[in-house]
Amino acid sequence: MSIDRFGGISDATELDSAQTDGTVRHGCEQERELQQDTEQTTDAHLRTPAGGPLAGVRVVEVGQAVCAPLCARHLADLGADVIKVEAHDGDLARSYDSVVNGESAYFAWANYGKRSIVLDLRAEDGREALSKLLVRSDVFIHNLGPGSMERLGFGREAVKALNPSIVDCSISGFGSTGPMADRKAFDLLVQGEAGLMSVTGAQDEPAKVGISIVDMCTAVYALSAIQAALWERITTGRGQHIEMSLLDSIAEWMMAPALHQMHTGKPPRREGARHNMMVPYGRYRTGAETSVNFAIQTQRHWQLLCEEVLLAPELTAHADFATNANRVANRRDLEPMIEERLTARGHVSVVEDLLRTGIPCGEVNDLAAFVDHPQLAERSRWRSIRAGEGTTRTIVPPFSLGDRAQDERAEQLAVPALGEHTQSILAALGVPG
C-alpha cells in the first residue's frame, strides 16, 4: 500500500476487502480497480482525462446557487474531476433564467466542466450511491441549508467514518454555532448583515453590490482552504473538516471600514462610484455623457493631477487639500472644482493627460464594452464551451500556471445537463440505475 501525491492511499486492489473488514481505503486514486484494463468500460465513466495540477483529485459537490458550485468549478479548472450531485429538480440556479441556449447565466458560469448525477438523498439507494462516491473521493463540498447534511446522514463524523482522508468542506450562511446558526442565507442577506450595503451606494440610499460578491468571496476562501488541506494530507494522510460561512468570509473583507468605525466612532460615508476614504478616487464627469475613473493615492499623483490635468497648480498649496485626510474632509468643495475643470477640457484630452502623467485611470465601461474589451481579446482570455444546444463564450480562469496551456481542456468543457452522467457513474460504482 502506498501514498499517492495527494496523501491518499493508492493501492486500490484492497478496496473490497477494506470495506468488509471495517477499514476504509481512501485518497484521490484509491479506486484502482476502476482503472484497470479489465474494467476499462466502466472506468471511462468514472474518470475524466483532465490535465492540470489537481489531475487525479475527485470532488463530490452537493451544491446550490453560487458558492459551493463556483468553488467546485475552480477545482475543475485546476484539473480535478468534479461530480455534481443534484436532486431530481436540479440545482436551483438552473431555473434562474434560460438566456444561455436554454441554460441560466449563473448556472452555466458556475458549473461547466463538471458531471451531473441525479440522486434522491432522502432515499436509501441515493444515500448508498453518495456513500460509495465519497469513499472514492478526495473532496466533499456542500452548501445545503443548515443541518441538511446531518439529517441525511452525512454530517462531519459520518463522512469521516466513510473516508478518513476526505477533505469535507461545509458552507453555510452563518456557521454551525451561534444565535444565527439555523438561519438560511443568500448573498443579499449577508451583504446586509455584514454592513456591506451600508458602505455601498449613493449617500441617500444603501445598495447591494451588483454581483454575488459574498458567495464569490466565500468560494475563493474555500478553494484556498481545500487546497491547503490536500497539501497537508500529503504528510498526515488524513483529511479534515473545513467550515466556511458567508458571514465569516465577507467579514474579512469588511475590516477596513470596520476599523474606521471602531477607531473614529463613525462609518465612512457612502460615496457612490467614489472612494469613501480617499479623494480624489473614483468616477468623475468629463462631459455631459462621459466620465473617467482615476485614483490618487500619493502626493506625487495629486501634484501631477493639479498641474498637468486640472491645470490648476494652485490647488497643491491649498491647505484644505494638502493631504488625503484634508481632501476627504473637504471633498464637497474639492470635487465640484475637479469636475468643472475636467468637463472644460473634454474627455479625450483628460484621458490622454492622465495616461501621459502616469496617473492610474480607466474607462467606465458598460457590459457590452466589457465583453469586447481589447485587453481581454489580445490576451486570449475568452474560450468557447458547450452549453445547452449550442456554445457560448466564457472567460478563461484567472490563474495562469507557468507554461501550462490555458485551454488544454477546452474541448471537454460543457455545462452538464441535469443527470447527464447518472447512468455512467452509477454503472462505474456498481449501483443499479
- pLDDT digit string (tens) for 210-229? 999 999 999 999 999 999 99
The answer to whether residue 215 is catalytic is: yes
Domains and CATH numbers, the chain: 12-253+390-429 (3.40.50.10540), 281-363 (3.30.1540.10)
Q: Name the more confident of 116 and 26.
A: 116
pLDDT on residue 3 = 41
C-alpha cell at 136: 472514492
**Res. 25 pLDDT band, cuts 50 70 90:** very low
In tens, the pLDDT along 110-151 reads: 999 999 999 999 999 999 999 999 999 999 999 999 999 999
User: What pLDDT, on the 0 to 100 scale, is given for residue 32?
Assistant: 36
Q: Is the pLDDT of residue 238 over 90?
A: yes
Distance of alpha carbon 91 from alpha carbon 109, whole angstroms: 13
Average pLDDT of the chain is: 88
- What does the pLDDT read at residue 8? 54
* Whether the predicted pLDDT of 23 surpasses 80: no
Rounded Cα distance, 166 and 237, in Å: 10
Taking residues 68-79, what's their average pLDDT?
96
pLDDT computed for residue 401 by the predictor: 77
Per annotation, catalytic residue among 81, 215, 320, 333: 215
Q: What percent of the chain has pLDDT over 70?
A: 86
pLDDT band at 405 (very low <50, low <70, confident <90, very high): low
The percent of residues in the chain predicted with pLDDT above 90, rounded, is: 84
Closest-CA residue to 15 (of 156, 163, 147, 160):
163
Question: Is the pLDDT higher at 105 or at 29?
Answer: 105
Query: Residue 161 — very low, low, confident or very high, per pLDDT cuts 50/70/90?
Result: very high
**pLDDT at residue 258 tops 70:** yes
pLDDT band at 40 (very low <50, low <70, confident <90, very high): very low
How distant is the alpha carbon of residue 266 from its chain centre? 31
pLDDT at 51: 77
pLDDT at 410: 55
Residues forming a β-bridge with 95: none
Q: Is the pLDDT of residue 27 over 70?
A: no
- Buried/exposed code over 146-164 (b: 16+ C-beta within 10 A; e: otherwise): bebbeebebbbeebbebbb
pLDDT computed for residue 307 by the predictor: 97
Residue 38 reports pLDDT greater than 60: no
Q: What is the pLDDT of residues 295-350, one digit of tens each?
A: 999 999 999 999 999 999 999 999 999 999 999 999 999 999 999 999 999 999 99
